[in-house]
Chains A and B, each alone.
Chain A
């Protein structure tokens, strides 16, 4: 289905595109380097890129597909989130949490553990160990359920922050700069 869109892509990227299309239908947006699916529950967005990225955690692989959920992360948990996994990215303004891995189950696992870290205070090192162990169960009878589905309900959490430019600052700067405002 996606073959014409991924011509010339690395095999891993083209395969990820095909798997995603098999599950979610044709992409909503396509360019020579990127395919995007919007609003495929539970995902806000799924992105497959031609640019593959080597990643050694939890094992050697290439990051090729990104799954995005809306999920707020408390500021005080960001440091532990960063310690957990460098391919889990938080966009504070949009309230989006994403994981970039070799396939969807890798991203489900990473996001479930990220949620444990930020919402339940799981130690990041423990989360990394669980990630290693869970991946090893992929093809076993004792498959870790964290690979199969999100164990939390995504929720909206954009954080627009607060305005810090006020009239007092404008007056002070205008005085310091010695003139009236000029157009930006």
Chain B
């Protein structure tokens, strides 16, 4: 890690330091540093990654601590929001912004969560299938078998934003922080 990053996360729990270090190795230093969180803007293919000092306990599909939030533009119709939450409680849907975040302890599993959420929203699978596929693919990943769904997006994220502003009328992409897109993201 850089000296600056070391200083920011020096008093963080070891697992949080490790999450920050792994993210910085892949995407470069964070764009925003705060005492409890680091933010990378446009770490392609993600829209935003946040590494949190403080974790939340999550037991699905096996006990771990959620720390890495990965955000992407994805429209989730209001009738699908409950299914997404039932599939995985660590996926947040902000319908107005047209954003979805998956939070886990490793980025690869966030790709998997978002890919299966997309499958759920598009009707390819139901909640039970999504949970079963997630369980099996996470187990395979932990056994050292990377798969397409844990390596990148299996769909094309909305390039012009997915904000709905309510009443399902799309609006122009909202103003985002003026940070130039990074080119350091590893190809999906």
**A interface vs B, CB < 8 Å?**
10, 28-34, 36, 38, 50-57, 63, 75, 78-79, 81-83, 85-87, 89-94, 100, 158-165, 169-170, 173-174, 177, 181-184
Contacts and interface: CB of A to CB of B under 8 A. Distances in A.
A86 B90 contact: no
Nearest to A182: B144
Interface in B148-175: 163-167, 169, 171, 174-175
Interface of B: 32-37, 39, 41, 56-63, 66, 78-79, 81-82, 85-86, 88-90, 92-97, 103, 106, 131, 135-136, 138-145, 163-167, 169, 171, 174-177
Given A160-B60, A184-B142, 7 more contacts: A32-B32, A33-B177, A54-B171, A79-B82, A81-B81, A82-B79, A181-B142
Contacts of A86: 78, 94-96, 164-166
Nearest to A176: B140
Nearest to B77: A82
A90 B62 CA distance: 22
A31 B94 contact: no
A163 B59 contact: yes
Contact of A184 (B34, B94, B144, B165): B144
Contacts of B164: 86
Given A34-B34, A75-B82, A86-B164, A51 B174 contact: yes
